[in-house]
């Protein structure tokens, strides 16, 4: 009972309009690799520009999106930056105004793919729920044999 409640709270405070979903991430991954990124995992400004223009957004808007998404301003995009740009393009096409600065939810490292409830040899299980008085859920990482 207490666990369920807290998990719901986590979800309620988590995703916002800028959060890139796992499905979107998978699509962005595919598109990124379709653009033949370099061995280091980057696409150039030219590669990205031609692709982004297909969205139908105007070059000045795309320039703004590029400026936001190219977090380290090195003139090229890794998969994370590309995913941010694609998300901003989608939001813009849906009528959302572009943010003046990149929202924290976008700067976070992308979720691992595919989504997993277990990671490596760790399994997260509720550790103890004495009385839920402190309204917190304790998880413990148990090594599986």
> Of 83 and 137, which has the nearer Cβ to Ca ion?
83
Examine residue 40 and tell whether it contacts Ca ion (CB under 5 A). no
- Pick out residues in 116-135 that bind Ca ion (CB under 5 A): none
CA 63-104-125 angle, 5° bins: 140
Question: Nearest Cα to 126, choosing from 12, 3, 11?
Answer: 3
Smallest gap, in angstroms, from Cβ of residue 75 to Ca ion?
7
From the list 21-29, 63-71, 87-95, 128-136, the region that binds Ca ion by CB under 5 A is 63-71
Give the separation between CA 81 and CA 44, rounded to whole angstroms. 12
Nearer to Ca ion, 77 or 137 (CB): 77
Residue 47 lies near Ca ion (rule: CB under 5 A): no
Q: DSSP secondary structure string, 96-119?
A: PPPPSS--HHHHSPPPPSS--SEE
The residues facing 77 across adjacent strands are: 43
* 70 touches Ca ion (CB under 5 A): yes
Nearer to Ca ion, 2 or 45 (CB): 45
**Of 13, 30, 54, 72, the one binding Ca ion by CB under 5 A:** 72
| CA–CA gap between residue 41 and residue 47 (Å, rounded) | 13
Residue 78, Cβ density class (10 Å: 0-12 exposed, 13-18 middle, ≥19 buried): middle
With respect to Ca ion, which residue has the nearer C-beta, 13 or 72? Answer: 72
Contact between 46 and Ca ion by CB under 5 A: the answer reads no
List of residues contacting Ca ion (CB under 5 A): 70, 72, 74, 81
């Amino acid at each position: 009972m207490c666990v369920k409640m807290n998990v719901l709270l986590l979800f309620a405070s988590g995703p916002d309009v800028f959060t890139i979903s796992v499905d979107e991430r998978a699509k962005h991954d595919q598109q990124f690799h379709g653009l033949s990124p370099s061995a280091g995992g980057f696409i150039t400004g030219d590669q990205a520009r031609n692709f982004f223009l297909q969205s139908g957004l105007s070059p000045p808007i795309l320039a703004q999106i590029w400026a936001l998404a190219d977090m380290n301003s090195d003139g090229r995009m890794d998969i994370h930056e590309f995913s941010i740009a694609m998300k901003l393009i989608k939001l813009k096409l849906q009528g959302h105004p572009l943010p003046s600065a990149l929202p924290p939810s976008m700067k976070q490292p992308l979720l691992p793919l595919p989504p997993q409830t277990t990671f490596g040899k760790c399994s997260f299980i509720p550790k103890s729920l004495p009385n839920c008085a402190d309204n917190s859920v304790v998880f413990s990482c148990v090594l599986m044999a």
